Structure formats: C-alpha cells, structure tokens
Amino acid sequence: MKEFLSRVLAFALIQLALFGLVVARFDPARSDHYLAATHDKHRRLAATVAPRVILVGGSNVAFGFHSDRIESALDMPVVNMALAGGVGLSLMLREVEDEVHAGDIVVFSIEYDLFGGGCNRALIRQLIAQHPASVQYLKPDLLLRTASENGLALISEIVRASLGAGYRPDRDSEPVSSRAIRRGFNQQGDFVAHYGEPSLLPATAPPTPVEQKVKRGWLMKTAVERELERFVELARAKGARVLYSFPPRPPVTYANEKATTVLIHAQLQTIPGLELLDAPGDQVYPLTQFYDSEYHLTGDGSAVRTGKLIRSIQEQTLRDAAK
C-alpha cells in the first residue's frame, strides 16, 4: 500500500509540476478564441469614462449593433460586453455591475431561454479557461457545479488555452462558423467579421403552423427575477439607467413564440426601475437579415436594429425629461 501510494503521489506531483509549467504559458493576449474577446471588452469597460452606453446580453447583442453609430447619435462611448447567451444572465449582469457609474445607460437584451435560468456549462468552462477572472462573476453554486460535474473538461480547456491551441474540438458547436474568433470583434466589442456577408440561413423558411403553446421553461423564474431586480436597483442607486430591448427574431419564429414572449414582456414590466424600450413584436426582421442563426443579424440587419435602438433611447430620454 505504501509503495503504491508513494508512486501515485510522485506521479501526481510530476503532472502538477507539468501543469504549472503549461499554465504559466497562459497569455490572454495570444488567444484568438471567440470567448477570449472578453479580455478586450473588460479592458475597454475599465478604460472608458462614464457616461457610457454599456450593451449587455448574449450573442444577439454581440451581432446586433453598430456601436459607432450609437456613439455618434448619443455622443457617448459604447462598450459592447456581449459574447454568448450560454454564459447565463447572472454572469452577464455580475461582470458589469461593479463598473456601472453615474450617467451610464445599460442596455441589455437576452435570448429568451435565459429567462428560465438557462446556461451552457460547457461554454462557461471555456470562458473560465480563456478568462479565469470570470470565476468571480459566477454564483457559488453554479461555479461548483461547473467545476465539479466535468472537472476534467475544465482542466482540459485551461490546458488548451495555455498552449495557445489551434485545435478546438468543439469548433462546430460554437456560436457561428469559423469566423467566430476574437479578431472578429471591433474596438467597441461588436462582432463584425461577417459584415457584408449574405445570410447563411435557407432562403425560404418552410411554412410552419403557428404554435400558440407557451414554453413554460422560458418564463422568468423567481431567481432570475430577483437577479434582475437586484441589478436594476444597484445600477439605479449608482445613478445609471437600465433599459431592456427584446432580441431580434424572424417572422415565423416570432409568431410561433408569441404566446410565450407576450408573457415574458408582462413579467419584465413588473421589474421596478427597468425601462422597456420595445415589445417583442418591434424586433421582427426578415429572415434575410439574419446571418447564421435566428438571433444573429447580418450587417444590414444590425444597422436597422441600431437605428431602432437609437430612436428608442432618444424618445425614452425625452419622455423622462418631460416628467
């Protein structure tokens, strides 16, 4: 027994030493992973001075706006913090809450399933590997579950990130095609690599019957509601505004989801201090304006959405000033 345990200990120490050597190579500047873009976003968030527009959300926000036009129209710098909906609403809000200052306008827009508390733990593991500091934004129970249920996968991600690996085994399960890389983001944090490209979705969506069944799993859970209320209260206490804009959807999908999104809209209206910029039906775009998924707009689609956002903010600001 003693000899076996001493051999196991010796082997484990060697692997730990190797792991230390490998992790010491980790250089966030080198990684071109899509999720590594969070380094640049956080750097920009820390460097820009309030008042700013801070865009928060899933990939519908990363792919959804021309921040330079927002900057010109509102005369405020914009920081697009969005990456992927799979990281979950809680992480999205927690990673900006300490950086929100007086005068900031936080605009967030999330994929509908996130209201039900959804997140992708495999994606979170990848995020931790690319940006270890993200760990501080995870709720303890989620961190524990993420690390423990597949600890090997997390260690593996860290190893690959440290080695600057070109090999990405889940390449085809990433948000978009091979363009989903860090270099695809612009200075403000918008994903722009696909601008000028036509839609990759089928040209004509097959006609589907309109389904009115409510997706119960999408309705806002109490924990999510509390998270939102906490964030809005915190932001407003600092003198910031929190605005919500619904994500973009193609017409058939919007019709299928209408029964659910109407309920979500009603639920959001009960969050004190949260200003709703629009309704789900205001964010319907032709299928040709979606790039590779029904949340990701093309360059043209995001230009239209940006125009709507600017007008909504300006109108909301005028209404608030009139009160």
Partner 1 sequence: MSFTSIQFLVLTALAFAAYHLRPTPRWQNGVCVIASYSFYGWWDVRFCGLLLASSLIDYWVGGRIAATDQPRSRRAWLVFSLVTNLGLLGFFKYFNFFIDSLVIALALAGLNINISTLVILLPVGISFYTFQTLSYCIDIYRREFEPRRDLLSYLSFVSFFPQLVAGPIERASNLLPQFRKARTLRLDDAVSGCQLVLWGFFKKLAVADNLALVVDPAYTSPSNATPGHLLLATFCFAFQIYCDFSGYSDIATGVARWFGIRLQRNFALPYFSTSLAEFWRRWHISLSTWFRDYVFIPLGGSRCERPQRLRNLAATFLLSGLWHGAAWTFVLWGGLHALCLIPSQWNRSPRGSSAPGDAKPCADARSICRVAATFALVCVAWVLFRVDSLTEAALIYRRIAFGLVGAGLPTELATTIQTWPAAFAVLGILLVIEWNTRARWNPFEGLRWPRPVRWVAYTALFWLTLYLCPAKVEPFIYFQF
> Applying CB under 8 A, which residues contact partner 1?
1, 3-4, 7-8, 11, 14-15, 18, 122-123, 125-126, 147-153, 155-157, 159-160, 163, 165, 167, 169-170, 172-173
Residue carrying structure tokens 């076996």:
4
Question: By the 8 A CB rule, do 291 and 64 touch?
Answer: no
Minimum CB distance to partner 1 smaller for 49 or for 167: 167
- Closer to partner 1 by CB, 22 or 268: give it: 22
Q: How far is the CB of 201 from partner 1 (least distance, A)?
A: 13
| Minimum distance, C-beta of residue 170 to partner 1, in the bound complex (Å) | 5
Of 249, 322, 221, 280, whose CA–CA distance to 64 is shortest?
A: 249
CA distances from 95 to 118, 132, 224 (A): 17, 13, 16
Contacts of 168 (CB under 8 A, 6+ apart): 33, 160, 174
Nearest-approach distance from CB 161 to partner 1, in angstroms: 11
The least distance separating partner 1 from the CB of residue 4, rounded to whole angstroms, comes to 4
Say how far apart CA 261 and CA 267 lie, in whole Å: 10
Q: Of the two residues 13 and 210, which places its CB atom closer to partner 1 in the complex?
A: 13
| Strand ordering across the sheet containing 275-276 | 78-80, 53-57, 105-109, 241-244, 275-276
Closer residue to partner 1 (CB): 150 or 267: 150
Q: How many CA atoms lie within 13 A of 307 on its CB side?
A: 5
Cβ nearer to partner 1, comparing 80 with 146: 146
Closest distance of CB 124 from partner 1, Å: 10
